[in-house]
Structure 1
Amino acid sequence: MSIKAILTDIEGTTSSISFVHDVLFPYAAEHLEAFVKEHYQDAEVKVQLEATAEFAGLDVENVDALCQQLLEWIREDKKITPLKALQGMIWKQGYAQGDFTGHVYQDAVENLRKWHESGLKLYVYSSGSVAAQKLIFGYSDFGDLTPLFSGYFDTKVGGKKEAASYAAIVSQIGIRSDEILFLSDVPAELDAAVASGLKVCHLVRDDKVEKQDRYPPAVDFDAVSALLCE
């Protein structure tokens, strides 16, 4: 492959799905109501609550109703931008307090470092907010990995199953689409990336991953490195 940049997903790709669902989501759910009520007047929080109220058709002054709506979205695993932003704020507090560290697979860390040293540009695209992305890599089990990345993208650029999102990312990165490799465990995301001209690789770290035969599979980042050398 003639690749100049790698765009990677997080959940199921650089990091375990269980960390997100068994650690981060429950932590946000447990602390959301107290966090919102304590920081309701903070400018950043207020912006996200106003967006929540508009999206859900609720009264922005009804904090209890807003909290219940946000908790319902967490239970339903909704990819809604204000929810992701608030979760990121809560997780920032948890990381800073040492309540947990960000899970990143060792093979991902080793290869991300190798790719960075070789001159490849590295980017992240996740449904989690950019702030949350920086936290998982900034407070990772292997220390601060954020210097490895040249940029981050979230749902503000568009949904991960929409081709237009990848076209927008290509435009911002400034590298030809066929020189960018996108890594994800979700075939529908790979389909969207291919529709915008990107090269793709399907991460299949466990048996729960949806199988497909359209794109090259990789059980880990060592396998991705092998594909890059072909």
Structure 2
Amino acid sequence: MIANEEQARAFCAARCDADAMARLERFVGMLAEENAQQNLVSSTSLDAVWQRHIADSLQLLDHVPEGASPWLDLGSGAGMPGLVLAIARPDLRIGLVESRRKRIEWLERVVEAFGLSRCAVHGDRLENVESRDTAVITARAFAPLTKLLSLSARFSTPSTTWLLPKGRSGAQELAEQPKAIRAMFHVEQSATDAEAGILIGSGRPAKL
């Protein structure tokens, strides 16, 4: 379990090369600067930015086959996890879905600043994004599970992996779902928070 910033950096370095770590360092600075202009993340979370945001995003790589692509990140907001993953792994095709104008502009600036040619910002509501087959779907605090699956099922295939960081409520939320959804998902312990979990699923959800 990651307990401090030193451990978080080491965790990230084990999953990134030196160039990626340098990009992430730059991103951390950009995030802090932008957060003074718009409330992207809690200001107190920046004191533990590597643990709370960077490592918290990169841990998702441990739950998919190496090189799995494309990814679709729902409600990307400040860029966690999708933008962080794109910065660390520019070889992956990652789509960032965000409907709020200022957040869209922020994501687009970062994508341009790092030359992330395989990362696309979809500046619209998810309902308006063109359907496509996706290998990995991620979402951090996007919507309750039933609504999330209903909105995004059309992007999934029988082999899609769902990675949904859910904080402290994940296990309880899953327990309240219909049997078919409970069978599709399980809860993994977060590497960055002893009280948080990640809902990990596989496949295409039945019609909800």
Using the size of structure 1 for normalisation, the TM-score is 0.36
Could you say which structure has the greater relative contact order, defined with CA pairs below 8 angstroms and 6 or more residues apart?
1
Between Structure 1 and Structure 2, whose CA radius of gyration is higher?
Answer: 1
Higher helix share: 1
Using the size of structure 2 for normalisation, the TM-score is 0.39
Higher strand share: 2
